Amino acid sequence: MFATVSGNLVLPQGNVWLLLLLVGSVDVVISRGLYYLSLRKLKMSMHTIVLTLGPVVAIVWSMLLFNVFPTTQEIIGGIAILIGVVFATLNRP
C-alpha cells in the first residue's frame, strides 16, 4: 500500500512469481497443516511447551538463511527458553 501511494510499486519478474507461490504455499499450507496435525496428536500442555521454542527456531533460521547472528541478549533469552523447556518436560507423567 505504501509503495503504491508513494509511486514506488514494482511488480516481480516472471521467475519471482513462482518463488513467491512456492514460499507462500510452504508457509501457509505445510506449516498450518503440521500445526493442526500437532494439535490433534499432542496434549495441549505439551503443545504449548513446544510452541515456546518458536523464537529459538527463528533465531537459528535467521542465522542459517540470512547470516544474521543474535545479540548477547538474544542468546541468553534462547538459552533461558531451552532451559525452561527442559525443566518443564523432565518430570512429565
Count structural domains, the chain.
2
Helix axes 72-90 and 54-66, enclosed angle (nearest 10): 140
- The more confidently predicted of residues 13 and 76 is 76
The pLDDT confidence band at residue 42, using thresholds 50, 70 and 90, is confident
Q: Are 92 and 47 within one domain? A: yes
- Check if the beta carbon of residue 45 is closer than 8 Å to that of residue 85: no
Q: Are 28 and 67 within one domain? A: no
Q: Are 27 and 72 within one domain? A: no
- Check if the beta carbon of residue 72 is closer than 8 Å to that of residue 61: no
Q: What is the pLDDT of residue 62?
A: 87
Q: Are 46 and 90 within one domain? A: yes
Average pLDDT in the chain: 87
Q: What Rg do the C-alpha atoms of the chain give, in angstroms?
A: 19
Q: What is the pLDDT of residue 93?
A: 63
Q: Are 48 and 85 within one domain? A: yes
Q: Are 78 and 47 within one domain? A: yes
Domain of residue 55: give its range.
42-93
